[in-house]
Every structure is written in structure tokens, then in C-alpha cells.
Amino acid sequence: MVIVSIHWGGNWGYEIPDEQIRFAHELIDRAGVCIVHGHSAHHVKAFENYNNRLALYGCGDFLNDYEGIEGYDSFRNDLSLMYFADIDAKNGDLVALEMVPLQIRRFRLKQATRKDAEWLAQMLNRESAPFGAGVRLDRNGTLIASWPVFPDSRVD
């Protein structure tokens, strides 16, 4: 199983440049990569199931030194996700993806509130929809990924 972790893209924005998308697709198609783990933006961004492989375009942080910096509150860099990808060991295909919402405060992680998890679900549904992906928030506060998108991108 091949996983590529890439520090790419600018900070403070949701746009995924076409060249990043093409590069992720080429890594999957030509190099047999199972997971493209993209990071740099300091906040969570869209994800994609491309040819049954996982492309995470921006995973956010677990710890950062951006707390207290003003002007970027709309990106909620205090929120992050733990990603749990179920990968078929025989062929490297993505079977399932669950994400656990967390909040960073004072260099510590704690479980995100329901309201914050709902914010993450709405943002991921908005930003991942162009990639044919979405999430629903289950009763336990876990985000469950879907492709194609859940019909109502619901919150349980």
C-alpha cells in the first residue's frame, strides 16, 4: 500500500487548484497510490474518492501556532479531523472513510462540540460536492463519508 503525504497549497482558502487535482489523480493512476494525504492550509479542505482511492486535499492541523491570529476565523482552523480510512488490503481500494471532529485549544485536542461537528459537515459537503463526495454526521459525532453524495447530506 502506497501513501503519499504532500505539503501543498496556500493557506486560508478552500480552492483546490487544478494542478493539485491533476497531480493527485496522476499519483493514483500512474504510481498506484492508495491515499494522497494533502496538508498545508492549517484548516480542513475537500476530499475525493477518485477511482476508489482517497485524495485528502487539506487535512488541517492537530497542533498549530496560529491560535489567536485574527482575520481567519471563518476558516475555523481550531477544528480538525482524525481520518480513519478503511482500505482493502488486496487491491488498495477505499472501502469507507470516517472522520472524528476535534477542536484545538491551548495546544490540546478535545472532541468537538456537536455544533462544531455540524459546521465541519456543512463545510465538507459544500467543498467536496464538486468531487462527488459528502458526509453525514452520525449520532456519535462521527462524520461518515459517502460517494456519491448522500441524497440529503444529512445530520442524524
- Residues composing the chain: 156
User: What pTM does this model have?
Assistant: 0.89
pLDDT at position 155: 47
pLDDT digits (tens, 9 = 90+) for 81-96: 999 999 999 999 999 9
Written as one string, the DSSP assignment of 18-42 is HHHHHHHHHHHHHH--SEEEEE-SS
Q: Does 66 score more than 90 pLDDT?
A: no
Q: What is the mean pLDDT of the chain?
A: 89
Q: What is the largest CA-CA distance in the chain?
A: 47
Sign of the C-alpha dihedral, residues 19, 24, 28, 32?
Answer: positive
| Domain annotation covers residue 40 | yes
pLDDT band at 64 (very low <50, low <70, confident <90, very high): low
Residue 96 lies in a domain: yes
- How many separate domains does the chain show? 1
- Looking at the domain assignment, is residue 154 inside a domain? no
Residue 155 counted as domain residue: no
* Domain that includes residue 13, residue range: 3-146
154 has a pLDDT exceeding 50: no
Mean pLDDT over 11-16 rounds to 88
